[in-house]
Amino acid sequence: KDMLYFDTAQISAGKAMKQAGILLDHINLFEYHDVFSIYAALQLEAVGFAMKGQGWKLAEDGMIGLKGKIPCATMGGMKARGFPGGAAGVYQAVEAALQLRGQAEANQVTNAKTALIQSLGGPASTAVSHILQTVN
């Protein structure tokens, strides 16, 4: 098994998108499980935003910033906020909801309508993904 490929993240995100009836291109922001810096790049690759081995380039090119193609960890993520253990997914859901409700203030993603949140457990041996969307 390739320890640098999070197949659980790929499977989980794929199932969530299928259940929501959306494609990757519909996602306006991604709250990933960045408890370790490398996890961000590996999740970007597994979910499909980058080719294998290329996730880091999205950060280098500004693609995951607030004005980027796929804003990620828009409130700073787990590395900035801290890792609350079992409550990590709750933080992600709240932060995504703030974005979708237009209440993220200085960190607001313009026209955010669809968010992907993903939490990992163990060395990415488990993954849980949710799609949150605005309702008109």
Quote the pTM value. 0.95
Which among 107, 127, 109, 112 has a CA at the least distance from the CA of 32?
127
Instruction: Specify the pLDDT at position 81.
Output: 84
* pLDDT level of residue 15 (50, 70, 90 thresholds): very high
Chain-centroid distance, C-alpha 94: 13
Mean pLDDT lowest among 36-45, 49-58, 69-78, 85-94: 85-94
76-135 confidence digits (pLDDT tens): 998 888 888 888 899 999 999 999 999 999 999 999 999 999 999 988 899 999 999 998
Mean pLDDT rounded to a whole number for the chain? 95
Instruction: Write down the pLDDT at residue 83.
Output: 85
In the chain, domain spans:
7-116
The per-residue DSSP string of 74-126 comes to TT-HHHHH---GGGHHHHHHHHHHHHHTT--GGGPPTT--EEEEEEEETTTTE
Q: Which residue has the tokens 């290329």?
A: 54
88 close to 78: Cβ distance less than 8 angstroms: yes
Residue 33, both tokens? 């499980």
Lookup result for tokens 């499909």? 48
pLDDT at 6 over 90: yes
> Region 36-42: what's the mean pLDDT?
95
Instruction: With beta carbons less than 8 A apart as the criterion, state whether 48 and 10 touch.
Output: yes
